[in-house]
């Protein structure tokens, strides 16, 4: 489908973005894959009901005396589509479904929080300038200098011990809150710098000057005049941060400082599966491929969205 200059002139920016996305095969495929995976995560309880197996249901009778599933490819049958976890006896398919729920839940929550904090600090620093801008930039530099992994390893256990005793079980929701808070504490800097740069170029524009001359207060200028013009970079930053937090959460769980049992999680499952690389490769394959497809789809769609919002960024 070709567009005439008249068609381009009568379309809004949002409509033009949608047209570019629809014409981009990579965006279409990655967007559909991302949407399907998100829907699977949201529908996990319904899938559990239809599948008839829960994430904590164990089938120890289907394991041999060494803890290995009977049958081929890790015990794949009509009842267990992805087989069983060696030693645990839990159904791997439903573990993957709820693992999607864990990864996407944490990633979207962290992306929302980091975007909100980054936009707020970036727009304030860019518009007000002066010592406020200097302080926010200094905090940004300090945050970027801190090693995230080492900091997380050092603080995550003391945080838990502050609220729970050494022998108390830490609930899953508390670990989610801690992880999202840590991602937010370190992840806002990219969005803040992006927004600050955009605001520096917008604050001298005519519509901002007109609002100031009309007596508009600071909250109105920031929220009504500047923020609507920052939609594209904010949306791109948000979409690209999701796959980063998916891999970040999986990496922390792989190292043993992410989500804990009994919450299904890709990182922990992959770590446990490494002991069965030769005896049960399907145990490694299914979680590894699932998280690979998940991250790849979101990354490709984020890149396509950036190109659709700013065609000049295409190489």
Q: Residue 249: name the closest of 45, 47, 31, 101 by CA.
A: 101
Q: How far is the C-alpha of 302 from the C-alpha of 213, rounded, in Å?
A: 38
The owner of tokens 């967007």 is 31
**Average pLDDT estimate for 3-30:** 68
Q: Which residues contact 7 (CB under 8 A, 6 or more apart)?
A: none
Before 262, cis peptide (omega within 30)? Answer: yes
Mean pLDDT across the chain: 85
For residue 140, with 0-12 CB atoms within 10 Å meaning exposed, 13-18 middle and 19 or more buried, which class applies?
buried
- The domain defined by 20-313 folds into MetI-like fold (1.10.3720)
**Average pLDDT estimate for 217-242:** 82
Distance of CA 48 to the CA centre of its chain: 23
Q: How far is the C-alpha of 251 from the C-alpha of 159, rounded, in Å?
A: 19
- Residue 50 pLDDT greater than 80, yes or no: yes
pLDDT tens per residue, range 120-166: 999 888 888 889 989 999 999 999 898 888 888 888 888 888 888 77
**Average pLDDT estimate for 213-217:** 75
pLDDT tier, 242 (very low <50, low <70, confident <90, very high otherwise): very high
pLDDT tier, 212 (very low <50, low <70, confident <90, very high otherwise): confident
Q: How far is the C-alpha of 227 from the C-alpha of 230, rounded, in Å?
A: 5
pLDDT tens per residue, range 256-270: 888 888 889 999 999
Q: Residue 31: name the closest of 297, 237, 296 by CA.
A: 297
CB 260 within 8 A of CB 249: no
Q: How far is the C-alpha of 60 from the C-alpha of 37, rounded, in Å?
A: 29
Q: Looking at residue 8, what is its pLDDT? A: 47
pLDDT tens per residue, range 257-315: 888 888 899 999 999 888 888 888 888 888 889 999 999 999 998 888 887 776 555 54
- Residue 6 pLDDT greater than 50, yes or no: no
* Local structure of residue 68 (DSSP, 8 states): P
pLDDT tier, 105 (very low <50, low <70, confident <90, very high otherwise): very high
pLDDT tier, 104 (very low <50, low <70, confident <90, very high otherwise): very high
**Average pLDDT estimate for 50-62:** 87
Q: Looking at residue 310, what is its pLDDT? A: 67
Higher pLDDT, 107 or 64: 107
Single pTM value for the model: 0.86
Q: How far is the C-alpha of 206 from the C-alpha of 113, rounded, in Å?
A: 31
């Amino acid at each position: 489908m070709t567009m005439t200059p008249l068609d381009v002139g009568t379309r809004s920016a949002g409509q033009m973005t949608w047209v570019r996305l629809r014409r981009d095969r990579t965006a279409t495929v990655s967007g559909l894959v991302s949407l399907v995976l998100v829907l699977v995560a949201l529908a996990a309880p319904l899938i559990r009901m239809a599948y008839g197996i829960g994430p904590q249901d164990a089938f120890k009778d289907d394991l041999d005396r060494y803890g290995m599933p009977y049958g081929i490819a890790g015990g794949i049958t009509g009842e267990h589509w992805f087989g069983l976890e060696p030693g645990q006896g839990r159904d791997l398919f439903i573990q993957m479904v709820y693992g999607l729920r864990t990864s996407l839940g944490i990633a979207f929550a962290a992306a929302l929080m980091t975007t909100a904090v980054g936009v707020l600090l970036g727009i304030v620093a860019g518009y007000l300038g002066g010592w406020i801008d200097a302080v926010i930039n200094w905090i940004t530099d300090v945050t970027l200098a801190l090693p995230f992994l080492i900091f997380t390893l050092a603080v995550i256990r003391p945080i838990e011990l502050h609220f729970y005793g050494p022998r108390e079980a830490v609930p899953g929701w508390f670990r989610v809150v801690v992880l999202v808070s840590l991602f937010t504490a370190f992840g806002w800097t990219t969005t803040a710098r992006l927004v600050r740069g955009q605001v520096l170029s917008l604050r001298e524009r005519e519509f901002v000057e007109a609002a100031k001359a009309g007596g508009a207060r600071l909250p109105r200028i920031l929220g009504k005049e500047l923020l609507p013009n920052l939609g594209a970079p904010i949306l791109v930053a948000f979409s690209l941060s999701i796959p980063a937090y998916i891999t970040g959460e999986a990496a922390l769980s792989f190292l043993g400082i992410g989500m804990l049992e009994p919450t299904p999680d890709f990182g922990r499952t992959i770590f446990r599966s490494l002991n069965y690389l030769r005896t049960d490769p399907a145990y490694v394959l299914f979680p590894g491929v699932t998280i690979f497809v998940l991250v790849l789809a979101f990354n490709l769609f984020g890149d396509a969205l950036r190109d659709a919002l700013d065609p000049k960024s295409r190489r």
